[in-house]
Amino acid sequence: MKYSNSFSTHGVLFKNHTSNSTESSFLVIIGICFLTFAFISCGGNGNSTGPDPEPDPDPDRNVSFSQDISPIFQSSCATSGCHDSGTQESGVNLSSYDDVMNSVGNQYGESIVNPGNPDESPLVDKIEADPQEGQRMPYQRDPLSQANIDSIRAWIADGAPDN
């Protein structure tokens, strides 16, 4: 019996496993597919500025201005050249509770927060898609996460307390 690419030693038949370009190409393709799948499954949609915060474990708790709302404003709005105490762009200052509650937006001509009514608060209109006046805030930056918008809405719905 004659086999190509094989040899016999002491009655045991061995097949010569020389590098086969078809096998190598197949293994490379499988490896690339696996790595591509692993990379895609770990990625996001590319539009995120980071993960949204974990949902509140107690959705019935009151939102706190100092613990929940002020940090959103400080990191996304009350920055130099925007809605800080020095700039007060469009008449809006989000540096402190009193500043927020006393801000009258130039575009709306009224207080930006209508306690108890987020749907009638210019602040909410400006941070959600397609505001009635001007551009969505934060201007020329990624929009606030839906979790942050929901927190601001809940705080206003609760009467916008100084807590």
Question: pLDDT for 117-134, tens place per residue?
Answer: 999 999 999 999 999 999
Q: What is the pLDDT, as a whole number, of residue 21?
A: 63
**CA 120 → CA 16, 29, 89, 132, 143, distances in Å?**
80, 57, 21, 11, 20
Q: What is the pLDDT of the chain when averaged over all its residues?
A: 79
Q: pLDDT tens across 40-86, in order?
A: 433 433 443 444 454 554 556 689 999 999 999 999 998 888 998 89
Give CA–CA dist 4/6, Å, rounded: 5
What's this model's pTM, rounded to 2 decimal places?
Answer: 0.64
DSSP state of 29: H
The two three-digit tokens of residue 131, written as one number: 């505001």
User: What's the mean pLDDT in 94-113?
Assistant: 96
pLDDT at residue 9 above 70? Answer: no
Q: How many CB atoms lie within 10 A of CB 13?
A: 10
Residues sharing a CB contact under 8 Å with residue 89, sequence separation 6 or more, in sequence order: 81, 82, 83
Determine the average pLDDT of the residues in 12-38.
56
Chain-centroid distance, C-alpha 25? 40
